[in-house]
Amino acid sequence: MLQMDVAELNEKVSAMGGDTDGDGVADLYDVDNNTPEGIAVAGNGAALDSDGDGIPNYKDQDVFTAKGVRVNASGMPLDSDMDGVPDGIDLEDNTAMGAMVNFKGQTVGVANGMGGSLALLPSIYFKFNSSALSTSSYESLTTVARYLNDNQGVNLLIKGYSDPVGSDSYNQALAMRRAKAVKKALNEVFKIAGDRLHTEAVGEKDNLSDDYKINRRVDFAFK
């Protein structure tokens, strides 16, 4: 019995002195001894996962996923019906392919020509202090581009918004960068003529919600 205890102790001492993956956590305490070289880890040797979505940061294409939102293997929010609205906030998870939805993922009516409501076109959302378009943004812009291609007489006003964090002047500029980023994508990626797209910065003046994430957006209006 004593010999077994000594042998076990020797194994532990040996393990404490080793660090197979070189992440700075001894093998004895490392829950993952195969961490790739150079990857930041927590105290237990697990690769960091900032948003807690189960996908380590080095594999995660969106390290700011909201809590509770289901993601794919790349850390991107799941969008089962491919309507541009992540499942976590989608109130209608079986939207018909190509149907237009509002920011909650609910199908809205489609009208041709100049008719219809501004709710026809999905809002485009941005991360804090950013004007960069995400993968889901391009999915939403596909709906916008399809509408414009089907309605050649329609011109759009692209309205940029921001949350109230920061100065009014900074938020106005940020809102305009967002509007211009959307115009550029519609023009360069989806080949919508630039003279059909007009930009405007609303900034923090017209907050739609107390949830700041909702206010970091671009909306569309008929021009």
Which range, of 22-26, 109-113, 186-190, 205-209, averages the lowest pLDDT?
109-113
Mean pLDDT computed over 195-215: 84
Which of residues 69 and 12 earns the better pLDDT score?
Answer: 69
Residue 48 located in a structural domain: no
3-state secondary structure labels for all residues of the chain: CHHHHHHHHHHHHHHHCCCCCCCCCCHHHCCCCCCCCCCCECCCCCECCCCCCCCCHHHCCCCCCCCCCCECCCCCECCCCCCCCCHHHCCCCCCCCCCCECCCCCECCCCCCCCCCHHHCCCEECCCCCCCCCHHHHHHHHHHHHHHHHCCCCCEEEEEECCCCCCHHHHHHHHHHHHHHHHHHHHHCCCCCHHHEEEEEEECCCCCCCCHHHHCEEEEEEC
Residue 29 located in a structural domain: no
pTM of the model: 0.49
Which of residues 182 and 38 earns the better pLDDT score?
Answer: 182
95 is in which domain, residue-wise? 79-223
Residue 212 located in a structural domain: yes
The domain that holds 151 is classified in CATH as 3.30.1330.60
Which range, of 113-127, 171-185, 190-204, averages the lowest pLDDT?
113-127
Residue 107 located in a structural domain: yes
At residue 13, the pLDDT reads 47
Which of residues 151 and 138 earns the better pLDDT score?
Answer: 138
Number of domains in the chain: 1
